[in-house]
Amino acid sequence: MGLENLKQLTPFIKEAFQQTLLVAKFLCGIHVTNSYICTFALTQGPSMLPTFNLTGDLVLAERLSTRFEKMQRGDVVLVRSPENPRKIVIKRLMGMGGDTVRYVVDHANNGIEHTIVVPDGHVWIEGDNKFNTNDSRNFGPVPYGLVQGRVFWIVWPPEDFGSVGREVQ
């Protein structure tokens, strides 16, 4: 390859490098936004009925509240499952460290009410559909570090578009 051919290739290589760098910056920006600021999640299943649809909603969750410990009772949260770490579940935050929580394990058979004090550094989560959910009533308090974000907006389906409230069901 002659010197003349190399001179012709240099602007092409420079442009390709700049374009690759631009794509890399864009992908890094998406990663940082998704990991530290906000993320999309898909809800599925009956555990959060009637807040979310059985067939699934696309929701937006912010991650800043968890980092700055600004979570409140009634928030809908993304939590890494304490039973299956590969799975993210969506539940309602019902108690924070130091709170006393009353709950019934078996609604169908007139279950006995239990009381627990949530340990410091833990949260108590429950699904809105008390009759069909796997939550803290089954596996106990969840370490605060497993809380991944606070769901604040329903994006899809269009008829449900809007904010997710803090109502305690």
Instruction: For the chain, give the number of residues.
Output: 169
Told to judge if 91 belongs to the known catalytic residues of this protein, a careful annotator would answer yes
pLDDT digits (tens, 9 = 90+) for 143-168: 999 999 999 999 988 888 888 877 65
Q: Is residue 17 part of a domain?
A: no
Which H/E stretch holds residue 23?
A: helix 3-32
Residues 47, 70, 130, 163: which is the catalytic one? Answer: 47
Q: Is residue 145 part of a domain?
A: yes
pLDDT at 87 over 90: yes
In sequence order, what DSSP letters do the residues of 31-57 get, joined into one string?
A: HHIIIIIEEEEE--SSTTTTTS-TT--
Average pLDDT over residues 2-23: 77
Q: Is residue 24 part of a domain?
A: no
Average pLDDT over residues 60-77: 90
Q: Give me the number of domains the chain comprises.
A: 1
Residues 7, 25, 65, 91: which is the catalytic one? Answer: 91
Q: Is residue 50 part of a domain?
A: yes
Amino acid 1: pLDDT: 54
Question: What band does 9 get if pLDDT is binned at 50, 70 and 90?
Answer: low
pTM of the model: 0.79
Phi and psi based region of residue 69 (left: phi greater than 0; alpha: psi -120 to 50; beta: remaining):
left
pLDDT digits (tens, 9 = 90+) for 101-110: 998 876 566 6
CATH label of the domain that carries residue 107 = 2.10.109.10
Phi and psi based region of residue 110 (left: phi greater than 0; alpha: psi -120 to 50; beta: remaining):
left
